[in-house]
Amino acid sequence: MTETAHKRQLVIIGGAEDKEGDCVILREFVRRAGGTKANIVIMTAATELPREVGENYIRVFERLGAEHVRIIDTETREDARSSTALEAIAKATGIFFTGGDQARITSILKDTEIDAAIHQRYAEGAVIAGTSAGAAVMPDKMIVEGDSQSTPRMEIVEMGPGMGFLPGVVIDQHFLQRGRLGRLITALIHEPAVLGFGIDENTAIAVTDDQIEIIGEGSVTIVDESESTYNNADTILRDEPLAICGAKLHILPHGYKFNLKTRQAILTNGVAASETVNESVVGV
């Protein structure tokens, strides 16, 4: 099968996903990664407690029936050349990035042999997933850090290179719980991306090629500034409030879908939102 024939799948989680009950999101990841034949590797680069965090996910994935689960612990860039780790990734059907500090993931893994191997498996059909910090790294440009519950201002967000699995967007996690609309909007102004995804806790976006499905108990806030009519970024100082007019806002709960190519929400009956209702347009 050629590379273009494979579906490219991501499961991007807003953090604090259920690991004890029905495990709706992690269950979906295992299902997409092969179900009872899944071969999952857990990437713990983000956390300073790799064994504790990794073993917690091993218990969950094994309980859900995954056939093989193992931890790949990379504390240094030298570890990212491990032949054992590269062999495990080459066989993986699912690759899961834990939470922690997203800057650790990129500083340890980006542009290494493991990075190349993971992208190769993604192109070949392996499912890539990440939670919290592991979600933040999915775009080509990520939020490294930023103030929550703040008025949008250029100074409140620091951006940096991500891992590049979902280019052209910005992702923020723990979204509703930490009041991060201001920093997501600011991040979109920092970068040429036109779509921002704010993912609540115990909520995920499951990406298959150009289509996104919302999974979990919360919602995903999508900011689309592709048709925005005005912002004042070129005329203000870094500590002054941003103004943005004409951006679109979608808030989608479990079961709703969104098309990345058309930038349209898809209702639960499969009809594009633009065909049935007027989409919300906000000035923020």
- The domain limits of the chain are 9-255
Query: To 5 degrees, how large is the angle CA 215–CA 219–CA 222?
Result: 105
Distance CA 242, CA 235 (A): 10
3-class SS at 89? helix
Average pLDDT per consecutive 10 residues, the chain (284 residues; last block may be shorter): 72 98 98 98 98 98 98 96 97 98 98 98 98 98 95 96 97 98 96 94 98 98 96 96 97 97 87 61 39
Measured over the CA atoms of residue 181, residue 168, residue 109 and residue 156, the dihedral's sign is negative
- 137 touches 103 (CB < 8 A): no
Query: Structure tokens of 99?
Result: 């939470």
Predicted local distance difference test score (pLDDT) of residue 186: 97
Is residue 107 flagged as an active site residue? no
Which residue of the set 28, 174, 219, 228 is catalytic? 174
Q: Active-site residue among 201, 225, 228, 250?
A: 201
**What pLDDT digit, counting tens, does each position of 195-232 carry?**
999 999 999 999 999 999 999 999 999 999 999 999 99
Fold (CATH) for 9-255: Rossmann fold (3.40.50)
Catalytic: 201? yes
pLDDT at res. 115:
98
Burial 68-95 (b: 16+ CB within 10 A, else e): bbebbbbeeeebbebeebbebbeebbbb
Is 132 noted as a catalytic residue in this protein? yes
SS3 249: strand
Task: Catalogue the long-range contacts made by 158-161 (C-beta closer than 8 Å, 24 or more residues apart).
Answer: 159/187, 159/190, 159/191, 160/103, 160/106, 161/106, 161/110
Quote the pLDDT of residue 281.
40
Q: Residue 276 has what pLDDT?
A: 57
Of residues 132, 213, 228, 250, which has the active-site annotation?
132
Is 170 in contact with 143 (CB distance < 8 Å)? yes
Picking from 241, 198, 236, the residue whose alpha carbon sits closest to that of residue 220 is 198
